[in-house]
Each structure stands twice: as C-alpha cells, then as structure tokens.
Amino acid sequence: MTAFGSRLRAAMDTRGPLCAGIDPHAALLAAWGLPDSLEGLERFSLAAAEALGPEVAAVKPQSAFFERFGSRGVAVLEEVIRTCREAGALVVLDVKRGDIGSTAQGYADGYLDPSSPIAADAITASPFLGFGSLAPMLDTARKHDAGVFVLALTSNPEGASVQRAIGPDGRSVAAGVLDALREANAGSGPLGSFGAVVGATIDPPGDDVDLAIGGPLLVPGIGAQGGTADDVRRIFDGVLDTVLPSSSREILGAGPDPAALRAAARQAAAEFAALVG
C-alpha cells in the first residue's frame, strides 16, 4: 500500500481538490423526502456514496449521524466506506476521537487497521489531551499507510478559547499542534499523511501559526456554513496546493438525483482547482 499522503496527492491531482461530506442528519433526510429512520439513513447514505464515490478525491462520512441508529447504523457506515473505496475515493472518517494509552490504541485499531470492518483511509482526531496522546493513532497510521487529520483551528466560536490559548512558551496551542504535525511529516513526500483541520471561516490565524506542515489541510465549512473560495484564498495563501476543501450540505442539497449530486461535486472541485491553477 502507498502512504495515505501520496494517495491523497494523486487523487487530488486527478479528481480535483474536494472532500465531499456524507452527513445524514434529519434535515437532509427530510429534504430528500426520506424518513428519519434506519431505512432513510441507508437509502440516503448509499445513494450519496454511489454518486460521489466515483467523482471526488475523498469522501468524509460523519460517524455521529450513523451511530445514533446504534449497531445497525454503524453497519450502514461500514457499507458506505466500502462503497466509496471501491469507487476509488479515499475515505476520511470524521470521528474526532481523542484519548490516552490503550483506549487511543483501541480507536486506532478500529478505524485504521485494515482488518477492521470499519477501517477507513484516514480519521479525524482531537489533540486536546496533549498531542502526545495521539501517538497510538499516528503509529498505527504509519504501520497501515493510513492518515490522521488533527483538529488545529476550527471555525466554531467555542474552539478559540482552547486553540488560541497561549502556552508557557508564548505561542498558541494551535501553533504547537501544527508544529507537531510538521515534525511528524518530516521526510515524507510528495505530501505527508498527517494533516490539520483548519476551518474555512476562521479569523486570521496569527503570526505564530505556520500552515505549511508538509501534509494536507482539511478545510470544512465550505458552502452552507459560509466558507467560500475567496476565504480559502485569503487564509491559505502560500499553501493552497495542500488544501482539501470539504463541503457537505452544499453538495448533498443537490440530491437526491445522482446526476445533480455529481454535477455539484464537479463544480465545487473545479472552483477550488482554479485557486491552485
């Protein structure tokens, strides 16, 4: 298996820089004329996976919207992951896990070991128990050529109280997370396998923040959450070639027609590819 960063670089170059979210929350199910039930979840999620999997570089299912239906919902998530990967898309499973020791290792084995039925190409993770707490996830990702996207600067207003807090060294917590990712990616190419999550609608990141981490930058908040191509250009100038914009509701709102979903994804990918080109 080729390292996740190399696979992502190839996918972004051939399919365009876009990560399409699959977020089957109740409002979207209703918009598609589906019930907020296990049946609705399955019909929505597999239709999105079948339409978007052959089109985009990456797909990002939000685990919470599957977990709310219990084990049968997780079984649907497993099928979504399989469908997308078979169609050629990389799967970034949005779980935002963060823990310590054997528990962190358990999450890593569940989501990144290919012998697991729910294994994905990469996961999202929270570093706010200390970046070192993520070592089992990073080590497991290295072992299996998977990836980890670590929360750094998120768009939600509550995040700033932690992420922009100043540590004893006079630098922000986010700056320290980005430094640790840069170190983890050292020597990797053409793109490291350890990325940062940086929102498309954040305030200016600050002079101590360097977004050039040698790995991908997963950028949620595009479309319905207010993020635009101009925002991406403003925040990520100088590292645009590493940006993987993520759009969920804006694309999913074009459904349930598969052709409309594919067209929305192509349009978004082309828009962001133009920023790099």
Quote the CA–CA distance of 116 and 202 in Å, as a whole number.
Answer: 35
Catalytic residue among 25, 82, 85, 96: 96
Active site residue 96: yes
Q: Which residues pair with 61 in a beta bridge?
A: 22
Quote the CA–CA distance of 108 and 100 in Å, as a whole number.
Answer: 11
Sheet strands (E) in 86-187:
90-97, 122-125, 147-153
Give 170-233 as a DSSP string.
Answer: SSBHHHHHHHHHHHHHTT--SS-SEEEEE-TTPPP--TT-----SS-EEEEEESTTSB-HHHHH
Cis ω before 190 (30° cut-off from 0): yes
Q: Which residues pair with 217 in a beta bridge?
A: 196, 243
Quote the CA–CA distance of 240 and 189 in Å, as a whole number.
Answer: 16
Pull the structure tokens for residue 127.
């570093």
Active site amino acids: 96
